Structure 1
């Protein structure tokens, strides 16, 4: 199937629109174009002289990690390594990258196969990873074309300003860590977890866990593993004991 019109479109006005949105003018637009070519598109268009974006994605991931690590080191001089690692993990997550990419509208510029485009536009789980990877490829392209200083500027305008909200809302924490910090802060003790029941064959286990604060059970959860049951118990405790609704889907 011939997608040459799509390619021509990206080469012309749409490349200019991408640059307007990100506030960066590329010296070599071919590098920018490559950031938006998904492997599936080339599978349907093998005659086209294009490269997919996976190598740029690899580069962008490493460049972003270095820039974010340096930013957190400078910005949080009194924060211990363990907490910085948690914050780094959240700010470099697929969910965070997807949020930025969606706000910039990068998905509309992606070159995908017809089938992949239908899946992408339906909003399924695969969309998160495809568009998050596209942001990383874009960062790689910016680095190659304009250097690390321009990458820093791009991140200062997109991801870095969210740090304050991430810390204030403790968005970097999972439910167990959030509960532990809350209990320690308000009551000066550490919650513990107890397995109440464990049922089922090895291939289909079912756990019920309670979380204990002092001499009180403050939450319970179930799941196919002890870890997942504990996470659910922590969410239950946060809601019942502290009126905090914890969600795995967090935006900032």
Structure 2
């Protein structure tokens, strides 16, 4: 493993090699071509300071990873929300693959600790720079795709990204109440009713629980830090339930 690692000095090389080994164990992904893994974490500033060495930065992998990420997320959303319009699918995907979301994922997986930086970039805080971390995440996806194909990318996303979508982490991007209203009106099924069923916690940390019903039948339940957020989550659950039923018919 160490013979391909782009670091000079035995002690440094061994330490970084061990970091990457532990990283792969932690995320349950093991690269066949580890050069791709190293390249995904190699910033252009590092390459510029080692011009005599045949190192490659992660910019090309970032380009590829961006496309792979959009494809895999698009496929998931297309399947999960069969009644969602093209415009809403685009809006939701943009909220998932935007820089703040990718930075959050990079922080969660401690990508910043592994990035290979030039001394100048290191001194100016590059390891924590949002744009750099988002680029590294995309480069990692590109490297994983080249190393193991789309199925492995999907497995990785199912572990680290899809649960966040299912838990409503990106619900702020979507207006699920409007979508649910449109869905119900399309079939002329009646009027929706929202109710706040529970309110608890101190004033600075309130939690609300809401439900949404149709002709007396509760379709969804949601929780949130505000009444609006709780209602949005209730609408999201109801929409998913109705869409599944609609797909089976």
Is the alpha carbon distance of 1:48 and 1:40 closer, same or farther for their aligned partners in structure 2, counting shifts above 3 Å? same
- Aligned-partner Cα distance in 2 for 1:76–1:243: 24
Is the alpha carbon distance of 1:7 and 1:154 closer, same or farther for their aligned partners in structure 2, counting shifts above 3 Å? farther
Is the alpha carbon distance of 1:121 and 1:40 closer, same or farther for their aligned partners in structure 2, counting shifts above 3 Å? closer
Contact 1:11/1:33 (<8 A) preserved: no
- Aligned-partner Cα distance in 2 for 1:52–1:170: 35
- Aligned-partner Cα distance in 1 for 2:29–2:43: 22
Contact 2:127/2:133 (<8 A) preserved: no
Q: So what's the TM-score if we normalise by structure 1?
A: 0.63
- Aligned-partner Cα distance in 2 for 1:170–1:103: 20
Is the alpha carbon distance of 1:7 and 1:87 closer, same or farther for their aligned partners in structure 2, counting shifts above 3 Å? farther
Are 1:4 and 2:5 matched, yes or no? no
Which range is displaced more, 8-17 or 53-62?
A: 8-17
Is the alpha carbon distance of 1:37 and 1:172 closer, same or farther for their aligned partners in structure 2, counting shifts above 3 Å? same
Unaligned runs of 5+ in 1: 186-241, 246-252
- Aligned-partner Cα distance in 1 for 2:143–2:106: 15
User: Matched residue of 1:156: which SS?
Assistant: helix
User: Matched residue of 2:52: which SS?
Assistant: coil
**Following TM superposition, by how much is the alpha carbon of 1:13 offset from its aligned partner in structure 2, in angstroms?**
1.1
Contact 1:10/1:33 (<8 A) preserved: no
**Following TM superposition, by how much is the alpha carbon of 1:79 offset from its aligned partner in structure 2, in angstroms?**
1.6
Q: C-alpha deviations, 1:98-146, integer Å up to 9, x for none?
A: 11110000101000111211223684xxx11100110100001100111
In the other structure, the counterpart of 1:145 is: 147
User: Matched residue of 1:82: which SS?
Assistant: helix
Show the 5 A alignment for 1:187-198. Answer: none
**Following TM superposition, by how much is the alpha carbon of 1:61 offset from its aligned partner in structure 2, in angstroms?**
0.5
Show the 5 A alignment for 1:213-232. Answer: none
Q: C-alpha deviations, 1:195-218, integer Å up to 9, x for none?
A: xxxxxxxxxxxxxxxxxxxxxxxx
**Following TM superposition, by how much is the alpha carbon of 1:49 offset from its aligned partner in structure 2, in angstroms?**
2.1
In the other structure, the counterpart of 1:172 is: 173
Runs of 4+, deviation exceeding 3 Å: 242-245
Q: C-alpha deviations, 1:51-70, integer Å up to 9, x for none?
A: 00101111111111110100
Aligned residues: 179
Unaligned runs of 5+ in 2: 1-5, 183-225, 230-249
**Following TM superposition, by how much is the alpha carbon of 1:85 offset from its aligned partner in structure 2, in angstroms?**
1.2
Q: Which of residues 42, 46, 57 in structure 1 aligns to 2:51?
A: 46
Q: So what's the TM-score if we normalise by structure 2?
A: 0.64
In the other structure, the counterpart of 1:206 is: none
In the other structure, the counterpart of 1:84 is: 89
Show the 5 A alignment for 1:66-81. Answer: 66-81=71-86
